[in-house]
Amino acid sequence: MDTFTNSKEKRILVTGGAGFLGSHLVDHLMEAGHQVIVADNFFTGHKDNLQQWLHHPRFSLIEHDITKPLDLQEVDEMYHLACPASPPVYMANPVFTITTNTVGTLNMLELAKKTGAKILLASTSEIYGDPQVVPQTEEYWGHVNPVGSRASYDVGKRAAEAMFTSYYRQFNIPIRIARISNSYGPRLPEDGGGVVGSFIKQALANKPIYVYGDGNQTRCLQHVSDAVKGIVKLMESDYTHPVNIAGTERFTIMELAQLIKSLIETSSEIVKKEPRQDDPRLRQPDITKAKTILNWEPQVPLKEGIKPTIEYFRQQLRNNNVETGIS
């Protein structure tokens, strides 16, 4: 993965740094020569994702739930990524999810206020809900069900954005807001890896690939390396308004299922199930701002990036079989 060089070593906190996106961000920041502190309660993250840095002198890991205040004396930058991000996980744990998005975000903003750190929120394209406008620019307010099964996440992230902008207006805290769209790549969790992880896991096991609804829902996927570069560029900018960090290749859920099935050469059948409540049908974030303000756009095509992701899952399956004695 390419890195951005920095003339000054920074002390950087990454909440949720043991997770999928967080651990790739940590790799990037460590390779760039920074001091990195990860705060994670391992609810969805794994220490194995940080294995290569655990004994590095510039790296430290704090097992901590951000719904409790975190006391650090010196921080230059904060990447606030902590939160369950996969629908099955956050829908099964709605109270924890919305508490992380609200109380946890408040605690991190208070820490930024105390230390003077610049702080970036990993928001999401989910804040647009089930959009009625295509594509979705940052000015679009969205179409969100505040009492639906996804509300702990999408409404929680909207609340987090409101908290960030409130702290900026009242206390002049230097904020950045990245609305990150569906990301995939190695380290995507086996359970709770979103639609990509679910399809790959089902296909490798020769089990049915479940498509919820008619399969015509659209997603714009991006490789995790592109997502990391986008949020780092946003952090390094002076822009304080939300920016979409998203893929540009638009796929239907059915097309994605068919692609993964063909690449794995599985005997799995694609099976349609009842649609999930409030599942966005036409997700296509507009990335004009990212292109013009950050000089960023995704570089990894899905058909190129999905292959090493499949190999990662295949290796994880082998490892699990060895551990359980399955040949």
Residue 124 pairs in a beta bridge with 180
Catalytic annotation, pick one of 153, 167, 168, 184: 153
What is the signed CA dihedral for 182, 183, 189, 190, rounded to 10 degrees? 70
Sequence-ordered list of residues with C-beta below 8 angstroms from that of 316, at least 6 positions apart, any chain: 190
Helix or strand holding residue 106 (H, E): helix 105-115
Q: Is 153 a catalytic residue?
A: yes
Alpha-carbon distances of 218 from 184, 241, 256, rounded to whole Å: 15, 26, 10
CB distance 154 to 96 below 8 Å: no
Q: What are phi and psi of 143, to 5 degrees?
A: -140, 90
How many helices and strands in the chain, by DSSP H and E?
10, 13
Provide DSSP, 157-216.
HHHHHHHHHHHHHHH---EEEEEE--EE-TT--SSS-HHHHHHHHHHHTT--EEEETTS-
141: amino acid identity, one letter: W
CB distance 2 to 229 below 8 Å: yes
Instruction: Tell me the three state secondary structure of residue 129.
Output: strand
CB distance 149 to 278 below 8 Å: yes
Q: Is 321 exposed, middle or buried (0-12, 13-18, 19+ CB in 10 A)?
A: exposed
Q: Give the Cα separation of 42 and 60 in Å (integer).
A: 15
Active site residues: 153
